[in-house]
Amino acid sequence: MASLPIPEVEEIEAIYGLEGAVEATSRYQRLAAAFKEKYGQAPEIYARAPGRVNLIGEHIDYEGYGVLPMAIRQDTIVAIRRGGDKLVVANLEAEQYPEIEFGTDPAQALDVAKHTWANYFLSAYKGVFEHLQSKGIAAPSPVGLQVMVHGTVPLGSGLSSSAAIVCSSSLAIAAVLGVAGSLTKGDVSEFTCTAERHVGVTSGGMDQAISVMGMPGVAMLVEFNPVRATDVQLPAGSTFVIANSMAVSKKAETADRRYNLRVVECRLAAMMLAVALGKPPGEAAAVTTLKQVEPAIIDKYGPGAEAQDKAVRELLHEGVYMPEEVEGLLQRPLASIYEGNASALRVLGVVGPEGFRLRDRALHVYSEAGRVYGFRDVCKSDAAAEDKLSQLGSLMDASHASCAGLYECSCAELDALVGAARAAGALGARLTGAGWGGCTVSLVREADAPKFIAALREQYYAPLVAQGVVKEKDLGECLFASKPSSGAALMKLKLASHEQPAEAPTQPAAAPAEQEAVMYEI
């Protein structure tokens, strides 16, 4: 999968299917018309990337452990052409996302203190050039680009709108610069993960990988170092219902006290475990993930989740670790360990008396990693379908309990929505995405999905409609059943009602089984 080229398709049905083709065609036509009205010419090419829902495996990708997401139908489309002497980034929803201009220098820095939606495009632009440089590929001279974006992934929902815009932008940029043909799916998954970190969030790689490598009809076990994806066939008769809590999680803006803080805590937990397991302080300070400590735990405690749980409970104390305690055990200042890591240094600069809860974070990571492979194994087993659904639901419930209790990345709205889902008949329900707002995902029997959705509308959303938080007509985008959808693709379309797109640098067309898409999260 990772070694396959990025697909280029000419028919909307190849990505959106027959059912979604009419709506998708209308959307591309609106984007093309707006592009031509603004820039005077049609786009050279389009790129799209889907959002994703993570079925299980939260906050463990940046610790080196596998995750189990699927791509969803909502996506981000980028229309692009070469022109002018600047990067002009516009949006079809201009009132909400005003036009932003940047210079064409790939080395320019992002202003993370003034976060704008277009920073994600600029991070992709930088990422393309950085990838070419890292591979020793001659980069084309920077040129002006005219861009228009449209996304349907709800922002701050935990469905990875940021990865969708970074991945779709990266493909669009690579295509108009004539270098897309040199990229594999693995390449794009890897460099877009690194590129997104320019906006100030320490992305772990799951979102970009599933956006690029998603496939219709199957979830994916995504593993890292190197990135790779394996099909996971979900049980027959099941579906997943995604529900937006309407609590917005702005990952980039809150990272220093939430997402990036957890990344720092996990590394500190790994270093403290390494010290407790006998590594000299200098070697322990070089440890970066909890997965790197796993061999030492196996040597002393044996393999498996129970051994990891025992090790963490014996070797890390309860409550808070303050920076001074960690520095004493490592025999060096934390600032020196994180030298050059701007996001981690910002976290260290704002940490207060709440300190770091290292034991709880490590307990979550190790147990959640075990649940991912447990989920995969249940799907592959010969058990009866009903037994599979029951086991998968229990794993999802345990995941949410760990996210809420040990990792503290839930919130009142997510907990209420999970409770409402279980009351409405979900076999299992959990938050999905970074947390602190956003969406839940519930496992439901396919035959029960309409009744389940109606119950959630009544129990959770009716009060929000009455309060004006959400409009009745918009509930279809807040609450919906989803099957796994296509991953990222370049779209070279002939739109009958508008001027034909100009020819763009080409690459080999993918076979139908290889066709895929991308998405994004802000």
pLDDT in tens, 419-473: 999 999 999 999 998 999 999 999 999 999 999 999 999 999 999 999 999 999 9
Tokens of 76: 């981000």
Is the pLDDT at 481 greater than 70? The verdict is yes
What's the pLDDT score for residue 150?
Answer: 97
Question: What does pTM read for this prediction?
Answer: 0.85
At residue 252 the predicted structure's pLDDT band, cuts being 50, 70 and 90, is low
What is the distance between the alpha carbons of residues 522 and 475, in angstroms, rounded to a whole number? 20
What gap in Å lies between CA 148 and CA 150, rounded to an integer?
A: 7
| Distance in angstroms (rounded) separating the CA atoms of residues 469 and 157 | 15
For 479, the 3-state DSSP assignment is strand
Residue 92: pLDDT over 80: yes
3-state secondary structure of 44: coil
Chain segment 353-399, per-residue pLDDT in tens: 889 999 999 999 999 999 999 999 999 999 999 999 999 999 999 99
Handedness of CA 108, 109, 114, 117 (dihedral sign): positive
What are the structural domains, with CATH classification, of the chain?
8-52+70-210+485-514 (3.30.230.10), 259-361 (1.20.1440.340)
Active-site residue numbers?
A: 207
Taking a C-beta distance cutoff of 8 angstroms, is the pair 100, 116 a contact?
yes
Of 76, 23, 61, 24, which is closest to residue 488 (Cα–Cα)? 76
Higher pLDDT, 4 or 155: 4
Tokens 């452990």 locate to 65
Residue with the two structure tokens 């996506």: 75
Q: What is the arithmetic mean of pLDDT over 236-252?
A: 86
Is 504 or 87 the better-scoring residue by pLDDT?
A: 87
Q: Answer whether residue 498 shows pLDDT above 60.
A: no
Which of 258-272, 434-448, 505-519 is predicted least confidently? 505-519
Res 507 pLDDT > 80: no
Higher pLDDT, 254 or 53: 53
Give the mean pLDDT of 312-320: 98
